[in-house]
């Protein structure tokens, strides 16, 4: 039997949608869309998800006017693969080269394919991305002093203002569309992830110059008194200031909304908070009881509030779909001595879930997911539906009247009924990605055997690696403490076979 035919036959019962999709809105009723994609924010980091040592009133505003999802997932337990899956509708583990990228990596989404921004652009939307990118730029060794392409504009965005990778990786500059912002041609940028540049000061050799010291790694180029991953020289006028980053990104996001408020727009606002290095603006520094990590949670909430206020001010809130979620689960010590561990107290960043960033346990991918759209969601509610960020492509395509080709978004489901709170089931199954793969079907979660450490020596996070298969009943054991694989060998065999069928098939979209 042909592989695709075998897959569809074998798992057909699992691919049947649990509810008929809601009808898409008419053309004039299509929503504006604002996707706020946070960085390293855990399920338990928001007060609307139970946090008590920190308050997030603006994020709570979204929950109070919409839907709080309880079983929503990023596509992976790290950022690059989650972002890849979000924009392409394809599980990142299907493609080589989609792991966490260095700051000088080439673009990993090929221009010309049907991406989330490209599909919405075809529907007449103005498309913008502001914030963290971390999907690579250029087609090879990149000259940061010239045109930086291909990049976001080549995969569907009309406008881009971004950091190339992460705050702890060089180059520490902003890129607007195809150019580094404020670049002085007489001070060209050089970037290397192989060896340092002669004469440049490093965190490992000049720690007395640092205002924030690394706990592991992060001891290379010094920018703004903080040592990073990778080596860089030049571009001094273009270097960002970490404490200003949230203000800069938020201002650009607000400008995009205001510039396009007369038509339909899609804004992908990818904040850097609460990723390391955690350097809050003076307005927020010291304002929480949890040190810099708590301060930048407050800062993130402020950014969200600015976006919501902008929608209110221009009368856009009623027909704007606002989605807030995070690229993966939380991490406390991720490379800098910022008192995150010492001041954590009884705060549980992953909430009730085991693990966190990098982990195949639920804390790695079960993340906050809030949806507000007053025109279609009239009252607040909680949803137990199983939903993934990978589904946003197909779902938003449907909402805007777009159709998908056979090869588009191979793993993205149309979950519009779940997104609007009308379907409590959601996906029939979900694959989670960390150091290994896991699959969830109903109450059951199967984790494939894997090698590697059980606990990260750097972060202290339980990674979930085990040479033996793991099976958890998430209804009875949400904390994944009792591996019942030995008690249910038939269920292990069933889910292991399903996972292998998904791996071997080019798609799961029905």
Residue ranges per structural domain of the chain: 29-179+243-419, 430-504
- Encode pLDDT of 178-197 as tens digits: 999 999 999 999 999 999 99
Average pLDDT over residues 130-150: 97
What is the pLDDT confidence band of residue 10, given thresholds at 50, 70 and 90?
A: very low
How far apart are the C-alpha atoms of 69 and 382, rounded to whole Å? 6
DSSP 441: E
As to burial, measured by CB atoms within 10 angstroms (0-12 exposed, 13-18 middle, 19+ buried), residue 412 is: buried
| pLDDT over threshold 70, residue 266 | yes
- The reported pLDDT for the residue numbered 510 is 87
Kindly report the number of other CB atoms within 10 A of residue 165's CB atom. Answer: 27
CATH fold, domain 430-504, is Arylsulfatase, C-terminal domain (3.30.1120)
Categorize the per-residue pLDDT at 111 as very low, low, confident or very high, splitting at 50, 70 and 90: very high
What pLDDT band is residue 8 in, cutting at 50, 70 and 90? very low
The string of pLDDT tens digits covering residues 320-341 is: 999 999 999 999 999 999 999 9
From 461, 335, 419, 432, select the one nearest 76 (Cα to Cα).
432
| Confidence band for 29, pLDDT divided at 50, 70 and 90 | confident
485-490 contact pairs (CB < 8 A, 24+): none
Report pLDDT for 53.
Answer: 98
Answer whether residue 6 shows pLDDT above 50: no
Angle between helices 392-399 and 79-88 (to 10 degrees): 30
Average pLDDT over residues 138-143: 94
Once rounded to an integer, what is the mean pLDDT over residues 246-262? 98
Confidence of residue 4 (pLDDT cuts 50, 70, 90): very low
CB atoms closer than 10 angstroms to residue 147? 12
What integer pLDDT is reported at residue 12 of this predicted model?
43
Two domains, one topology: 29-179+243-419 and 430-504: no
Q: What value does the mean pLDDT take over residues 307-314? A: 98
pLDDT surpassing 70 at residue 357? yes
- In angstroms and rounded to an integer, the radius of gyration of the C-alpha atoms of the chain is 22
Tokens representing residue 101 in the block: 């990228």
- Distance (Å) of CA 85 to CA 98, 121, 197, 451: 10, 18, 35, 25
Q: Are 202 and 219 in contact (CB under 8 A)?
A: yes
> What local confidence, expressed as pLDDT, does residue 30 receive?
95
> Taking the complete model, does pTM exceed 0.75, yes or no?
yes
DSSP codes, 41-99: --TTSSGGGT-SSS--HHHHHHHHTSEEEEEEE-SSSSHHHHHHHHHHSS-GGGSTT-S
Between CA 24 and CA 449 the distance in angstroms is 42
The CATH number of domain 29-179+243-419, selected from 3.30.565.10, 3.40.720.10, 3.90.380.10, 3.40.50.720: 3.40.720.10
In angstroms, the CA 402 to CA 398 distance is 6
Lookup result for tokens 């403490």: 481
How high does pLDDT run on average in the chain? 95
- Percentage, residues of the chain above pLDDT 70: 95
State mean pLDDT over 494-510: 97
Q: State both tokens at 352.
A: 């009730």
Q: What are phi and psi of 86, to 5 degrees?
A: -60, -45
* DSSP structure string for 370-412: EEE-TTT--S-EEEEEEEEGGGHHHHHHHHTT----TTSSTT-
27 — pLDDT class (breaks 50, 70, 90) = low
């Amino acid at each position: 039997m042909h592989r695709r035919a075998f897959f569809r036959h074998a798992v057909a019962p699992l691919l049947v949608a649990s509810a008929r999709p809601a009808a898409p809105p008419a053309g004039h009723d299509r929503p504006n869309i604002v996707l706020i994609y946070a960085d390293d924010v855990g399920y338990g980091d928001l007060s609307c998800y139970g946090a008590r040592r920190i308050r997030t009133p603006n994020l709570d505003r979204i929950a109070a006017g919409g839907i709080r999802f309880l079983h929503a997932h990023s596509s992976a337990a790290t950022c690059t693969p989650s972002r890849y899956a979000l924009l392409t509708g394809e599980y990142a583990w299907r493609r080589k080269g989609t792991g966490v990228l260095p700051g000088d990596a080439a673009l990993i989404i090929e221009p010309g394919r049907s991406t989330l921004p490209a599909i919405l652009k075809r529907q007449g939307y103005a498309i913008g991305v502001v914030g963290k990118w971390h999907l690579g730029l250029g087609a090879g060794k990149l000259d940061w002093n010239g045109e930086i392409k291909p990049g976001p504009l080549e995969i569907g965005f009309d406008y881009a203002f971004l950091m190339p990778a992460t705050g702890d990786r060089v180059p520490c500059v902003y890129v607007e569309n195809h150019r580094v912002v404020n670049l002085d041609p007489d001070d060209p940028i050089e970037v290397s992830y192989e060896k340092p540049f002669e004469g440049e000061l490093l965190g490992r050799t000049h720690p007395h110059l640092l205002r924030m010291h690394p706990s592991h790694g992060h001891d290379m180029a010094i920018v703004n008194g903080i040592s990073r991953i990778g080596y860089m020289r030049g571009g001094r006028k273009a270097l960002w200031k970490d404490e200003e980053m949230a203000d800069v990104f938020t201002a650009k996001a607000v400008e995009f909304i205001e510039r396009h408020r007369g038509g339909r727009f899609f804004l992908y606002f990818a904040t850097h908070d609460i990723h390391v290095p955690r350097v809050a603006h003076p307005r927020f520094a010291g304002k929480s009881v949890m040190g810099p990590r708590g301060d930048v949670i407050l800062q993130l909430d402020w950014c969200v509030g600015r976006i919501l206020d902008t929608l209110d001010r221009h009368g856009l809130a009623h027909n704007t779909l606002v989605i807030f979620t995070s690229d993966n689960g939380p991490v406390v010590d991720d490379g800098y001595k910022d008192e995150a561990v010492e001041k954590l107290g009884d705060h549980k960043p992953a909430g009730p879930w085991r693990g966190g960033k990098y982990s195949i346990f639920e804390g790695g991918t079960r993340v906050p997911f809030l949806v507000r759209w007053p025109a279609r969601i009239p009252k607040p509610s909680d949803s137990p539906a199983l939903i993934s960020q990978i589904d946003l492509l197909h779902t938003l395509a449907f909402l805007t009247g777009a159709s998908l080709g056979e090869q588009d978004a191979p793993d993205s489901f149309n979950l519009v009924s779940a997104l609007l709170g009308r379907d409590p089931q959601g996906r029939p199954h979900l694959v989670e990605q960390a150091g290994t793969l896991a699959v969830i079907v109903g109450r059951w979660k199967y984790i494939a055997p894997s090698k590697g450490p059980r606990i990260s020596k750097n972060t202290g996070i339980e990674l979930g690696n085990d040479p033996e298969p793991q099976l958890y009943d998430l209804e009875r054991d949400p904390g994944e403490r009792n591996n019942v694989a030995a008690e249910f060998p038939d269920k292990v065999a069933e889910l292991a076979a399903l996972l292998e069928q998904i791996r071997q098939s080019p798609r799961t979209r029905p």
